[in-house]
Amino acid sequence: MGPKNSDWQMQTTNNKSKVRWTKAELDYVCRGVIAVVSADNAVRLLTAIHRTEEQLPLDRRRLRPALSQYGVNAKKAFQEAYQVALRTPASRPPAEPKPEEAPPATSEGQGTCADVEDTGGSPDHPPEEDLVRSFDSIPTNVLLAEILMRIGENLTNRLDRLEAALIARLVPAPGVPHRNGERHFSPNPPRPEPPHAASEPKCKVIAVVGLFKDQFEHVRAKVSHLPFRLHWLDKESAKPFIPVADYVIVQRHSSHRWWAAAQRAVPSDNLAFVDGGVTQVVQKVMDFHARSCAQTAMAHAR
């Protein structure tokens, strides 16, 4: 007489019960995972496995606290079923296996090739975290490129703010009072206008887009002695619009729509793109001033 079902259904190793699933039982649990997760994508894989196990006979349940404790083959099968469930439309979830469809207990000889090894493990082992489902369909190289791009943008913004903070310490804005109550004025006071300047426009307008507001204020403080009136444009504006301006400076953190709007607003000679922060914007304003002075000198020479 062969061994009784109870002899092969429950095996004891080191005084700890150990259940080996047959191939039919593993397939049944995989179908249950697909049904549970398809109905609710928020359900974790381990939770879906436990819900399906509740349909098995009491002596055939494993209810492991971690996915890795079900064995390598079972873990791989569960993860594949989980991915199938995530790709299944929620409006038409596959039919959940009914309790009466649970595979019957078989003899030891019938389950030799389909048995799933139990890796055991301590109950204190922490549950294994499931992979983030939203990243499963994105190629690895795309994810790495996105991560590097965001890190670079964050680092650039931090460097720009650090540069602005250093400039604020070295050259405070005009009229900012010190701790001792004295007022500090710019080391470069506005130059007196020459007598012939009355017949010329008082100043030209330079529109600046891409800087933070505090960075723009530092730029304006550094070029306050030049005959320009600077106008700040918010790069986060939903509709890029360039007001009446003689020159436009576009910083690299601005979107392409701002660059296109600037090209329509001023001639190409009066449009500048800068790749840096406060220092490069100040330099570009000085370049505009030098060119304007050269053009004025040539006009008077004629």
Q: Residue 212 contacts by C-beta under 8 Å, 6 or more apart in sequence? A: 160, 161, 164
**116 secondary structure, DSSP code:** B
First to last CA, the chain: 122
Instruction: Output the tens digit of pLDDT for each of the chain's 302 residues.
Output: 444 444 333 433 333 457 889 999 999 999 999 999 988 888 899 999 999 999 999 899 998 989 889 999 999 999 999 999 888 765 455 555 555 556 655 444 344 334 444 444 444 444 444 444 555 656 777 778 778 878 877 787 787 777 777 776 765 555 555 555 555 455 555 565 655 544 445 688 999 998 888 989 999 999 999 999 998 998 888 788 888 889 999 988 888 888 888 888 899 889 999 988 899 999 999 999 998 888 888 888 87
Write the burial class of residue 32 (CB in 10 Å: 0-12 exposed, 13-18 middle, 19+ buried): buried
Q: What is the pLDDT of residue 96?
A: 55
**84 secondary structure, DSSP code:** H
Measure the CA–CA gap between 97 and 31, rounded to whole angstroms: 7
Q: What is the pLDDT of residue 74?
A: 92
Strand 228-233 relative to strand 204-209: parallel, antiparallel, unpaired?
Answer: parallel
**Longest CA span, the chain:** 122
Q: What is the pLDDT of residue 297?
A: 85
Measure the CA–CA gap between 3 and 43, rounded to whole angstroms: 40
Q: What is the pLDDT of residue 230?
A: 92
Q: Where are the domains of the chain?
A: 5-118, 138-175+201-302
Handedness of CA 52, 56, 58, 60 (dihedral sign): negative
Q: What is the pLDDT of residue 125?
A: 42
Do residues 285 and 228 touch, judged by C-beta distance below 8 A?
yes
Q: What is the pLDDT of residue 198?
A: 45
Distance of CA 187 to the CA centre of its chain: 43
Measure the CA–CA gap between 243 and 86, rounded to whole angstroms: 50
Please report the beta strands in 99-189, taking only residues with DSSP state E, as ranges in sequence order.
176-177, 183-184
Q: What is the pLDDT of residue 99?
A: 55
- 302 token code pair: 């004629």
How far from 242 is each of 2, 213, 232, 250, 251, CA to CA, in Å? 90, 17, 10, 11, 14
Q: What is the pLDDT of residue 173?
A: 52
**57 secondary structure, DSSP code:** -
Owner of token pair 């002075």: 293
- Kindly report the length of the chain: 302
Q: What is the pLDDT of residue 107?
A: 45
Write the burial class of residue 19 (CB in 10 Å: 0-12 exposed, 13-18 middle, 19+ buried): middle
Q: What is the pLDDT of residue 128?
A: 44
Q: What is the pLDDT of residue 32?
A: 93
Nearest to 13 by CA among 114, 119, 108: 119
Other CB atoms within 10 A of residue 120 CB: 13
Measure the CA–CA gap between 98 and 101, rounded to whole angstroms: 5
Sheet containing strand 204-209, edge to edge, reads 228-233, 204-209, 247-251, 271-274
Measure the CA–CA gap between 153 and 167, rounded to whole angstroms: 21
Write the burial class of residue 60 (CB in 10 Å: 0-12 exposed, 13-18 middle, 19+ buried): buried
Reported as type and span, the H/E element at residue 32 is helix 23-39
